[in-house]
């Protein structure tokens, strides 16, 4: 099975580690993947309003291209995943959006949500398996206490994202266990980091990210892992400065012995 | 367009049935930006149901809602307060002069570490 790999804008610039280590680990784990052709920005936020069609089109193009390449679209960034998954759901279930998007794009073949949008963590859990990852680890991150930071976009709304239990998720904790470290569960792991308001309402972003990092530190976490470049930015720049944040792929690369 | 029609349009755009709300307040109880909101998520739902649009259009909550979808997740009645806030926000930013962010002022508010994702998200939410 071949996966169409979708990097997204930020992974090509500010979040290169998320992309670089993500690719190295896929190679190491023997996952067949290829960067999807002519990908465009997903749009960064899901256009919630029912009368928005144009803002969903770039996501539809990517989804339709992935369908032509085998129908498995692999995402890394939480926001890209959220947008692509929800737009895909609209193409499957919203007659009005599907009709208008197809009329506008005039694709060779109509698109109706056939592609599976799979996040990298879901790939690790559902296609590779955490047992296999555990067996492939050459450098277990022993004695490291790591907090999982889920944030919002991977989990909610769970009706569409269907990623994990939205109130009490465990996929990242299972990941941390698989790479030989000790997961630290803390209260604010699925709370918002402050998202896109950090330039317009800096105080609010600082308040939110500080709550998350304080909560993690008080529970004993020495570091945090995330899948989202925006969460990474907020927790690092607007948090308490006492808990370093890493992309999960970087720690996976370290455990698999492919980090340079 | 009168206010009644405007309220109807906003309701349709939100794609959620505000009449289902049973006023339990869970959405506002779970909201991470509650303290920064002059009008709370449950009030957005109830004001729009009653057709009271004016104060919503002027609410500062439009710019403190984080679109984290916690309110949507918690609602026991399947109402999506975040969608109502978004529908009102669109009503404001789509109008002439409704942009919240001035592009020329961006450089002084950002640093090297800011990911593209943040800027694109901000513009998509606050500008048209």
Q: Taking a C-beta distance cutoff of 8 angstroms, is the pair A178, A201 a contact?
A: no
Q: Which residues of A touch B90 (CB under 8 A)?
A: 49, 52
pLDDT, residue A220, reads 98
Whether chain B has a CB inside 8 Å of the CB on A208: the answer is yes
Interface test with A, best of B27, B117, B120, B127 (most A CBs within 10 A): B117
Question: What pLDDT, in 10s, does the model give residues A88-129?
Answer: 999 999 999 999 999 999 999 999 999 999 999 999 999 999
State mean pLDDT over A182-203.
97
* CA of A236 vs chain B CAs: smallest distance (Å): 10
Closest among A97, A45, A87 to A66, alpha carbons compared: A87
pLDDT in tens, A122-139: 999 999 999 999 999 999
Between A49, A51, A194, which is nearest B66 by CB?
A194
Shortest distance, CA B83 to any CA of chain A (angstroms) = 6
Q: Chain centroid to CA B26: how far?
A: 17
Token pair in block for residue A213: 């990092």
pLDDT at B116 over 90: yes
Contacts of B85 in chain A (CB under 8 A): none
Picking from A41, A48, A80 by the largest number of B CB atoms within 10 A of its own CB, the best residue to mutate is A48
A156/B70 touch (CB, cutoff 8 Å), yes or no: yes
Backbone angles phi, psi at B52, to 5 degrees: -90, 90
Would you call A201 and B120 a contact, using CB atoms and an 8 Å cutoff?
A: no
Q: A260 pLDDT exceeds 90? A: no
CA A8 – CA A66 distance, rounded (Å): 14
Say if the Cβ atoms of B114 and A199 lie within 8 Å: yes
pLDDT exceeding 90 applies to what percent of chain B? 91
**Contact assessment for residue A19 and residue A73, using Cβ atoms and an 8 Å cutoff:** no
Q: Residue A152 to residues A130, A224, A227: CA-CA distances in angstroms?
A: 23, 15, 11
Comparing CA positions, the residue from B77, B71, B62 lying closest to residue B127 is B62
CA distance B111 to A33: 34
CA distances for A207 relative to A202, A224, A228, A240, B108, angstroms:
9, 18, 19, 10, 22
Place of tokens 């022993």: A142
Question: Under a CB-based contact definition with an 8 Å cutoff, are residues A174 and A249 in contact?
Answer: no
pLDDT attached to residue B107: 87
Q: How far is CA A153 from the centre of its chain?
A: 8
Of A200, A86, A76, A178, nearest to B82 (Cα)? A86
Arithmetic mean of pLDDT, A41-57: 96
B66 and A236 in contact by Cβ < 8 A?
no
For residue A18, give the nearest of A134, A119, A118, A155 by alpha carbon.
A119
> pLDDT at residue B106 above 90?
no
Check if CATH label 1.20.1050.140 holds for domain A2-121: yes
Domain ranges of chain B: 3-95, 101-128
Q: What residue spans define the domains of chain A?
A: 2-121, 133-256
Percent of chain A with pLDDT over 90: 99
Task: State mean pLDDT over A78-91.
Answer: 98
In this prediction the ipTM stands at 0.96
- CATH 3.30.2290 is held by the domain A133-256: no
Among A17-26, A173-182, A240-249, B98-107, name the one with the lowest average pLDDT.
Answer: B98-107
Structure tokens at B48: 């729009």
> What is residue A148's three-state secondary structure?
strand
Instruction: Tell me which CATH code domain B3-95 carries.
Output: 1.10.1060.10
Q: Determine whether the interchain pair A191/B32 forms a contact, defined as Cβ–Cβ distance below 8 Å.
A: yes
Q: Which residue has the tokens 């470290």?
A: A181
């Amino acid at each position: 099975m071949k996966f169409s790999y979708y990097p997204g804008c930020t992974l090509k610039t500010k979040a290169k580690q998320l992309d670089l280590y993500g690719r190295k680990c896929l190679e190491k784990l023997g996952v067949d993947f290829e960067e999807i052709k002519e990908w465009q920005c997903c749009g960064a936020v899901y256009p919630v309003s029912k009368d928005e069609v144009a803002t969903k089109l770039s996501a539809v193009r990517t989804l339709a291209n992935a369908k032509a390449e085998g129908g498995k679209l692999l995402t890394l960034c939480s926001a890209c995943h959220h947008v692509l998954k929800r737009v895909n759901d609209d193409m499957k279930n919203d007659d009005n959006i599907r009709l208008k998007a197809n009329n506008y794009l005039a694709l060779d073949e109509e698109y109706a949500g056939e592609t599976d949008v799979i996040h990298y963590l879901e790939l690790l859990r559902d296609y590779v398996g955490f047992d296999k990852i555990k067996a492939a680890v050459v450098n277990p991150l022993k004695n490291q206490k790591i907090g999982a930071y889920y944030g919002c976009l991977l989990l909610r709304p769970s009706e569409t994202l269907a990623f994990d239990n939205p109130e009490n998720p465990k996929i990242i904790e299972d990941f941390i266990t698989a790479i030989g470290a000790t997961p630290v569960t803390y209260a604010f792991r699925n709370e918002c980091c402050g998202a896109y308001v950090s330039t317009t309402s800096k105080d609010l972003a600082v308040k939110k990210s500080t709550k998350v990092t304080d909560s993690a530190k008080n529970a004993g976490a020495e570091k945090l892992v995330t899948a989202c470049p925006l969460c990474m930015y907020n927790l690092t720049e607007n948090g308490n400065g006492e808990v370093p944040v890493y992309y999960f792929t970087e720690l996976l690369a370290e455990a698999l012995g492919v980090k340079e | 367009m009168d206010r009644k029609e405007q309220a109807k349009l906003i309701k349709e755009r939100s794609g959620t049935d505000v009449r289902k709300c049973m006023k339990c307040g869970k959405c506002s109880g779970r909201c991470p930006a509650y303290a920064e909101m002059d009008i709370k998520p449950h009030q957005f739902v109830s004001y729009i149901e009653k057709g009271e649009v004016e104060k919503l259009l002027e609410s500062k909550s439009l710019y403190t809602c984080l679109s984290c979808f916690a309110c949507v997740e918690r609602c026991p009645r399947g109402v999506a307060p975040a969608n109502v806030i978004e529908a009102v926000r669109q009503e404001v930013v789509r109008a002439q002069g409704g942009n919240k962010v001035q592009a020329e002022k961006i450089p002084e508010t950002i640093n090297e570490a800011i990911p593209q994702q943040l800027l694109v998200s901000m513009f998509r939410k606050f500008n048209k």
